[in-house]
Structures are given as structure tokens and as C-alpha cells.
Amino acid sequence: MNIRRTMKTRRAMTAVAITTGLVLTVAGCGGGGDEEPKSERSSSSSDGERDDKGDKQSQPAASENVLAEVKGESGLTLKVTSAKRDQGGFLTVEGTVTNGSGKAWVAASWRGDEQELTKNGGSMAGASLVDARGKKKYLILRDTQGRCLCTRFTGGVLSGQTVDWFAQFPAPPEGTTEVTFQVGAMPPAPIEISEGE
């Protein structure tokens, strides 16, 4: 009889221990750390609320850092938003292209004239950087298969669409802070280089 009570007690203790472990596991996986603090939530939600007069306040637009903006090639707008040195000796240039031509655009003229680059299709493969002070031209980096380290516009860019792009180049010497970005028949875009993190 004493053995039965001991066995029942052990089973009950085991069940309690397992249940407690499961509850703690579920509570630990519940997240909760990703929520915005209440003070930040209330201030950000009030940005678009009405003021005392009942007029809707305008929300400030997100400021986009634009290093250069050029227009050309039948209504295309190219923006350069970043040009950062990477630790590996590369320079990564990023931005957007907006198709205002009224028809789909396939970026065929942007892939470059080199035979090796024709496999890249519509892409930023023909982009280059010119260091006027150092009298050097930097071509886009590519892998051993001839694929550029850049954006490919697979399927083209629809009319009215804005898409992000990037292109990687060998980094100019440390003292060089300004270069000119060129792609296709777009006008040259002078840009300033910033140091990466």
C-alpha cells in the first residue's frame, strides 16, 4: 500500500514538473520583445491625428538621401542614393530607376558592350565609375562566369514603376572622395563616396 502511494506521488510530481516546463517554454517563445514601447507608439500614432482645429496634420515624408539624379533615355530617371566603400576593397553604389517612358523598359543598352557582359541581359553590367582626378575608369565587378555583381532587371521595368538597383566596383584609392557614375546613354552623375561601417 505504501508503494502505491509513493508511485502516485511520483507520477503527480512528474506531471507537475512537465507541465511547468511546458508553460515556461511557451512563455519564453511568446516574443513580446519586438513590440514598440508604449511611449513611442503614442507619439508616432499622433503624427497623423487631427489637431485641435480638426484639420488633419500632414505626416513628414521619409527623407531620401539622393547623391545624384539624372534624366534621359526616353523618360528614365536614375537616382544614386548611396556610394559606400566596403572593407573588402569594393565600392557599392545603390539607387533607384524610374520608368517614365510610357512603355516597358528592358535595360538592354545598360548591359555594356563587352562580349563577356552580354550574358547578363538587361542589367547594370555596363555601368562604370570615372575618377577624373586619378584619371581612371572603373568597370563593374564580375564573377568567373562573367556575371556582374549588380542588379539584373529580370522581366524589365514597367511603365511608371520604380525599382532599386546596386552595382559593385573596385574601390578607388582612399583619398578619392568624388567620382562620376555612368550607365548606358544616361548623363554622367557626379557622386560622393562615403566610408562603410
Residue 96: pLDDT band with limits 50, 70, 90:
very high
How many domains are contained in the chain? 2
Kindly state whether residues 102 and 155 are assigned to the same domain. yes
What's the pLDDT at 78?
Answer: 95
Report the C-alpha gap between 156 and 106 in whole angstroms. 4
Say if residue 27's pLDDT is above 90: no
Q: Which of the residue ranges 11-25, 39-53, 104-118, 119-133 would you say has the lowest mean pLDDT?
A: 39-53
CATH, residue 158: 2.60.40.10
**Contact call for residues 89 and 172 (beta carbons, < 8 A):** no
* Residues whose CB is less than 8 angstroms from the CB of residue 176 and which lie 6 or more positions away in sequence, other chains included: 131, 133, 134, 193
Residue 157 belongs to domain spanning = 68-195
Q: Which of the residue ranges 48-52, 58-62, 102-106 would you say has the lowest mean pLDDT?
A: 58-62
pTM: 0.65
Q: What percent of the chain lies above the pLDDT cut of 70?
A: 66
Residue 5: pLDDT band with limits 50, 70, 90:
low
Residue 73: pLDDT band with limits 50, 70, 90:
confident
Kindly state whether residues 37 and 75 are assigned to the same domain. no
What mean pLDDT comes out for the span 135-160?
Answer: 91
